[in-house]
A and B are shown apart, each in its own frame.
Chain A
Amino acid sequence: MNRQQWQMVAVLVVVVASAALLLSLANVGTHDAITAAREATLHRMLVQVMPDHDNNPVQQPIRIKGNDEPIYVARQHDRVTGFAWVVRAPDGYSGNIDILLGLTPNGAIHAIRIVRHQETPGLGDGIVRNHNWVDSFIGRTLDNAHWAVRKDGGDFDQFTGATISPRAVVNAVHRGLTWFHQHHKELIKLVNKHFSTPLSKKKE
């Protein structure tokens, strides 16, 4: 290679190396803040779907085989007041809908919130904007409701011009409740094991 070509290589190496250095510095500088911001967002959501609690549910989720999503446990005065986890509706109008499902210990819905979706603005996104609809899930259990939209003969409204999104949400919540019902004993066992020792001792 002649001198000019060496110069090109040198310039590229210097530029890429500096870019890599800058990016790693930025990564180190923002990593903790990003984790904190994500936890805060999750916690803000959790507070909305969980009964009163005095622990930080984000920090000690429970994991169960067969369910990829961590299960967050709300506790007050060392007693479990509720559970919450994300259920996914794979059959939204455009892509997955992630729903945060909050239950009381005996399996009644405390509240639900849509965490992530790409439904059509103005139509399908009523699953987020229509508060009456979102609140129509409160207090429902596996047995006290017919789990389908009205068009399919169930208890939950669809929207004008949008049936697919509410149907997907209703079905996903129903699957979540069924799962909870089937794994209830296992879950209680895990919770007892998980929280048998006070948090402060566990870390030592």
Chain B
Amino acid sequence: MKKREILANGLWHNNAVFAQLLGMCPLLGVTTSAANGFWMGAITLLVLLSSNTLVSLVRHQVPHQVRIPVYITIIATFVTIFGMAMDAWMHDTFLVLGLFIPLIVVNCSILGRAEAFASKNSLGASLIDALGMGLGFTFALVVLGGVREFLGKGELFGFNLLGADYPGFIMFVLPPGAFIALGFILAVVNSIKQRRALASRSIAGETMPQPVTA
């Protein structure tokens, strides 16, 4: 695969959230605001970069049978270290996200990248894959957090956009709002993908499939 393809794969075509629906726990848990989503995404990106690097480096030394415990140990170590660093130097953000940081260990999109990509590819390709996947995940978190914060509180990144008399739509800040907002976002993403697929097919000279009518 070319580098651009790997990157586009993580950012869009095979996006951890929009295409694979992985990492739902941090996704639904922390995205009460765009800023929360951003920081969760940033930490996940760091963990992905580190774990993909190390897994790719040791890929020839690790016996096939014990690869999963090795990968999980590597991931858990990095998550704990980044959690400690955040507690020490970004304490205010840690107070908000702290609860969800250890859960990054069981974010299956990270183990998924170690297993499906980094263990079979060179260091360079694994780094690009981590970058694409991590940024794609961050993008999804910020979009969902932004939608929920905007609808729920009339704000975006803490800035008030709808005026002080916006009554607020509490449901979108609460857990059910996460599922509902994600459902609509997935519908939009799927419709964009479908339109693109149709467009590329019509360019190729095929006839547009007619919409099914009852």
Contact = CB atoms under 8 A, between A and B. Distances in A.
A23 B80 contact: yes
B32 A12 contact: no
Contact of A23 (B32, B81, B87): B81
A121 interface: yes
Interface in A1-33: 4, 7-8, 11-12, 15-16, 19, 22-23, 26-27, 30, 33
Interface in A29-62: 30, 33-34, 37-38, 40-41
Contact of B91 (A4, A15, A40, A123): A40
Contacts of B168: 122
A120 interface: yes
Main secondary structure of the interface of B (DSSP, over half): helix
A198 B61 CA distance: 62
A120 B63 contact: no
A121 B173 CA distance: 7
Contacts of B170: 120-123
Nearest to A21: B77
A26 B80 CA distance: 9
A4 B95 contact: no
A8 B68 CA distance: 12
B66 A8 contact: yes
Contacts of B61: 11
A121 B32 contact: yes
Interface of B: 32, 61-63, 65-66, 69-70, 73-74, 76-77, 80-81, 84-85, 87-89, 91-92, 95, 152, 168, 170, 173-174
Given A8-B65, A22-B77, 4 more contacts: A30-B84, A34-B88, A41-B92, A121-B173
Q: Which 10 A-B pairs have the closest CB atoms?
A: A122-B170, A33-B88, A37-B91, A30-B88, A19-B77, A30-B84, A26-B81, A121-B173, A34-B88, A8-B66
